[in-house]
Amino acid sequence: MCRHLAYLGPPQPLRSLLWDAPHALVEQGRAAREMIVATENPHGWGVAWWSPTDGGPQRYRSATAMWDDDGFGASDRDAVAAIGAVRRASPGMAGDPRNNAPFVGDTAAGCLAFSLNGYVFAGGREPRLRAALDAERTDALEGDTDSEVLFAITRDRVDAGESFPDALAAAHARIDADDDVYANMLLTDGAVVVGTTWNHTLYLFATDAATTVASEPLDRAEAWHRLPDRSLFVATPQRLEVFAL
C-alpha cells in the first residue's frame, strides 16, 4: 500500500507538493486519512520529476520514512511534472529503495514513470503475473515488488505500439482484479498522466494550467473531486477522460 500523487503544469518547487501543502505527501505518509489498513507509510518514499530545462525524469528514492529523511536536496527545484509516493511495504517484500515507487524506464514512446498504490499479488496471482514477462524483462527487474512487475507489463505493451491508456488497461486486465485486490496505478511521461482506480481513493484537482492527482487531497479546496472507483483516466491540464474498467 502507499499514498501517491502526480502533477503536470507550470513550474513549481517540488517542495509545494511534497512538504508545503497542508496535506502534502509527507503528511499522507505519516497521517493518512483514507488508507484501508493503516495510517502510516514508514517504509520509504520516492519522487521522479521533469524540470523546465533538463531532460527527464530525475529520480530520488529512499528506504527512510519521508518525515525522517534529510537526504533529498532537490526540494526547491522547479518541476513541470512529478510523480511521488510514500510506501507501506506489502507482505513479504523487502524494505529496499529499489522496491519504492516511482519506477522509471525507457520505452519506444520515451521515458515513463510509474507507481502502484495497492497489492496485486494477492490470491496467488504472483506466478501468473511474472509469467507474462519474457526472460529479458524478468532479468531486468531490480526488486521483488508487484509494482515493478506491473510496470514491466505496461512497458511491454507500450513497446508493442499501444497507447498509454491501452497499455495500462492491459496491465490491469492481467491482474484479473476482484474485491480482494487494491490497485491504483499512475503512469506518466511528463506530459500526460494515465491512471486506474480499483478499491482505493484517488482525487483530481484541475485548472486551465495544471492537473494534480493524489490519493488524498493536498488541501481543503472545493475543486478537488474524487475520481470514480474502478475506472481508467487520462489527464492533462487541458483534458480529462474517464472510462470504466
pLDDT confidence bin for 94, thresholds 50/70/90: low
Segment 118-123 shows an average pLDDT of 92
Domain boundaries, the chain: 2-244
Task: Look at residue 90 and tell me whether its pLDDT is greater than 80.
Answer: no
SS (H, E, C) the chain: CEEEEEEEEEEEEHHHHHHHCCCCHHHHHHCCCCCCCCCCCCCCEEEEEECCCCCCCEEEEECCCHHHCCCCCCCCCEEEEEEEEEECCCCCCCCCHHHCCCEEEEECCEEEEEEEEEECCHHHCHHHHHHCCCHHHHHCCCCCCHHHHHHHHHHHHHHCCCCHHHHHHHHHHHHCCCCCCEEEEEEECCCCEEEEECCCCCEEEECCCCEEEECCCCCCCCCCEECCCCEEEEEECCEEEEEEC
Give me the pLDDT at residue 33, please. 93
| Distant-in-sequence, close-in-space partners of 67: CB < 8 Å, separation ≥ 6 | 26, 29, 30
Task: Look at residue 213 and tell me whether its pLDDT is greater than 90.
Answer: yes
Give me the pLDDT at residue 54, please. 83
Q: 165: alpha, beta or left, given left = phi > 0 and alpha = psi -120 to 50?
A: alpha
Segment 231-235 shows an average pLDDT of 98
Task: Look at residue 96 and tell me whether its pLDDT is greater than 90.
Answer: no
Q: Strand pairing partners for 55? A: none
Give me the pLDDT at residue 91, please. 65
Percent of the chain surpassing pLDDT 70: 98
* Distance of alpha carbon 89 from alpha carbon 3, whole angstroms: 12
pLDDT digits (tens, 9 = 90+) for 138-147: 999 999 999 9
Give me the pLDDT at residue 35, please. 86
Task: Look at residue 104 and tell me whether its pLDDT is greater than 70.
Answer: yes
Query: pTM for this one?
Result: 0.96
pLDDT digits (tens, 9 = 90+) for 10-63: 999 999 999 999 999 999 999 999 988 778 899 999 999 999 998 789 999 999
Segment 91-116 shows an average pLDDT of 90
Give me the pLDDT at residue 92, please. 63
Cell numbers at residue 5, please? Answer: 500523487
pLDDT confidence bin for 132, thresholds 50/70/90: very high
Supply the mean pLDDT for the chain.
94
Give me the pLDDT at residue 162, please. 98
Task: Look at residue 229 and tell me whether its pLDDT is greater than 90.
Answer: yes
Domain 2-244: CATH superfamily is: Aminohydrolase, N-terminal nucleophile (Ntn) domain (3.60.20.10)
- Between these two residues, 122 and 45, which has the higher pLDDT value? 45
Give me the pLDDT at residue 38, please. 78
Task: Look at residue 93 and tell me whether its pLDDT is greater than 90.
Answer: no
Segment 156-180 shows an average pLDDT of 96
